[in-house]
Amino acid sequence: MGGPRAAREKRVMATPIASSRAAMQQKGVMAADRGRRILGVCGMHPDHQEALKKNRVVLAQQLLLGELLEHLLEKDIITLEMREHIQAKVGSFGQNVELLNLLPKRGPQAFHAFCAALRETKQSHLEDLLLTTLSDLQHVPPPLSCDYDSSLSFPVCESCPPPKHLRLSVDTVESSLDGGDGPPCLQVKPCTPEFYQTHYQLAYRLQSQPRGLALVLSNVHFTGEKDLEFRSGGDVDHSTLIALFKLLGYKVHILLDQTAQDMQEKLQDFAQLPAHRVMDSCIVALLSHGVDGGVYGVDGKLLQLQEVFRIFDNANCPSLQNKPKMFFIQACRGDETDRGVDQQDGKHHAPSPGCEESDAGREDLLKMRLPTRSDMICGYACLKGTAAMRNTKRGSWYIEALSQVFSQRACDMHVADMLVKVNALIKEREGYAPGTEFHRCKEMSEYCSTLCRHLYLFPGHPPT
User: Residues with catalytic annotation?
Assistant: 289, 332
Round to whole Å and give the CA distance between 286 and 72: 36
CB atoms within 10 A of CB 68: 22
Q: CA–CA separation, 422 vs 18, rounded Å?
A: 64
Torsions phi, psi for 240 (to 5 deg):
-65, -45
Residue 86 · residue 106 · CB < 8 Å: no
Backbone angles phi, psi at 392, to 5 degrees: -70, -15
Residue 168's contacts (CB-CB under 8 Å, 6 or more residues apart) are: 148, 149, 150, 152, 154
DSSP state of 380: E
For every residue of 298-321, DSSP letters joined together read TTS-EEEHHHHHHHTSTTT-GGGT
From the list 129, 120, 114, 107, the residue with the least C-alpha distance to 43 is: 107
How far apart CA 193 and CA 190 sit, in angstroms, is 9
Question: Within 121-207, where are the H helices?
Answer: 124-138, 193-199
Give 192's contacts (C-beta < 8 A, 6+ positions apart).
411, 461
Could you count the other beta carbons within 10 Å of the beta carbon of residue 279? Answer: 20
33 sits in which H/E element: helix 20-42
Sign of CA dihedral 5, 11, 17, 21: negative
